[in-house]
C-alpha cells in the first residue's frame, strides 16, 4: 500500500535513532537544500553531538544517497503493487499514474529532494541512481507502449515524448501542490491521473463499456 513514510517515533535507547536522523535530514534538506544544510543542524534536530552522528552515517552525502535509495524502493513497491492487479493496458497505466501521484502528493519533502538534489551525488552513488532512474523511465515507456499497441492512442503517438510528458507532469507535483493526506490526496491523484492519461489516450475505455 502506498502511504506516507511517517517520521519514526523518537528513539528509545537508540533503537530508532538511525531513522530519526534520516527523517530529520529529509526535513532540513527539503527546507534549506542540500548545500544550505549542515550535519550540525541534523545533529541538533535529533539531540546528538555532531561527532556522534558518525556512529550512524559516514558523511552528509551518504544521507542523501540513502534518501534516493528509499525513493527507489518505494518506486519498485508501486510498480509491484500495480503489476499484481493484472489490469488491462489502460487501467494499468491509469493506476500506475494514480499510485505515483498519491506518493508524491503525500511525501512532498522526499519528492523535492529527489528531483532537486541528485547533482550532489558523486562517484558510484551517482551512477547507481542514474541507472535506477533510467530503469524507471523504461518502465513508464513500456506502459505507454502497451496502450499504444492496444490501439488506445493515436497511431502516430511519439512514445518517447509521451513518456517524458507523463513524467514531467507527475514529477512536478511537489512544485505546485501543498502536501495532502487521506481522501484529499486520493482525490487529487485521481484528477492528475485522469488529466495525464487523457492527454495520451484517444478514448476512455471505462466510459466505452
Closest CA to 188 of 177, 200, 175: 177
pTM value surpassing 0.75: yes
> Into how many domains does the chain fold?
1
If one compares 207 and 114, the residue with the highest pLDDT of the two is: 114
Does the residue 179 lie in any domain? Answer: yes
Query: Any alpha helices (H) in 85-155, and if so which ranges?
Result: 89-106, 108-116, 123-149
Is residue 76 situated within a structural domain? yes
192 within a domain of the structure (yes/no): yes
pLDDT band, very low/low/confident/very high, at 13 (cuts 50, 70, 90)? very low
Q: How far apart are the C-alpha atoms of 139 and 156, rounded to whole Å?
A: 21
Q: What share of the chain is helix, strand, coil (3-state, %, to 5)?
A: 70, 0, 30
Residue 202 within a domain: yes
Q: Is the pLDDT of residue 15 over 60?
A: no
Residue 48 placed within a domain: no
Residue 1 domain flag: no
How many degrees, rounded to 5, is the angle at CA 166 between CA 125 and CA 200?
150
Q: How confident is the model at residue 202 (pLDDT cuts 50, 70, 90)?
A: confident
CATH code (residue 159): 1.10.357.10
Are 30 and 112 within 8 A, CB to CB?
yes
Residue 29: inside a domain, yes or no?
A: no
Q: What confidence tens digit (pLDDT) does each residue in 37-47 have?
A: 999 999 999 99
Q: What domain range is 122 assigned to? A: 61-208
Amino acid at each position: 500500500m502506498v502511504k506516507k513514510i511517517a517520521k519514526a517515533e523518537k528513539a528509545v535507547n537508540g533503537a530508532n535513532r538511525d531513522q530519526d536522523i534520516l527523517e530529520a535530514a529529509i526535513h532540513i534538506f527539503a527546507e534549506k537544500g542540500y548545500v544550505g544544510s549542515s550535519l550540525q543542524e541534523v545533529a541538533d534536530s535529533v539531540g546528538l553531538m555532531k561527532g556522534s552522528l558518525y556512529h550512524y552515517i559516514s558523511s552528509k552525502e551518504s544521507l542523501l544517497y540513502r534518501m534516493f535509495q528509499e525513493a527507489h524502493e518505494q518506486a519498485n513497491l508501486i510498480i509491484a503493487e500495480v503489476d499484481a492487479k493484472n489490469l488491462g493496458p489502460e487501467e494499468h497505466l491509469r493506476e500506475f499514474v494514480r499510485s505515483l501521484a498519491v506518493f508524491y502528493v503525500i511525501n512532498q519533502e522526499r519528492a523535492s529532494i529527489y528531483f532537486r538534489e541528485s547533482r550532489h551525488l558523486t562517484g558510484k552513488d551517482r551512477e547507481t541512481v542514474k541507472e535506477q532512474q533510467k530503469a524507471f523511465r523504461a518502465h513508464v515507456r513500456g506502459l505507454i507502449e502497451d496502450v499504444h499497441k492496444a490501439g488506445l492512442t493515436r497511431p502516430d503517438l511519439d512514445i518517447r515524448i509521451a513518456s517524458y510528458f507523463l513524467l514531467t507532469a507527475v514529477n512536478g507535483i511537489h512544485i505546485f501542490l501543498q502536501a495532502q493526506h487521506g481522501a484529499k490526496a486520493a482525490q487529487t491523484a485521481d484528477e492528475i491521473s485522469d488529466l495525464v492519461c487523457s492527454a495520451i489516450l484517444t478514448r476512455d475505455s471505462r466510459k466505452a463499456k
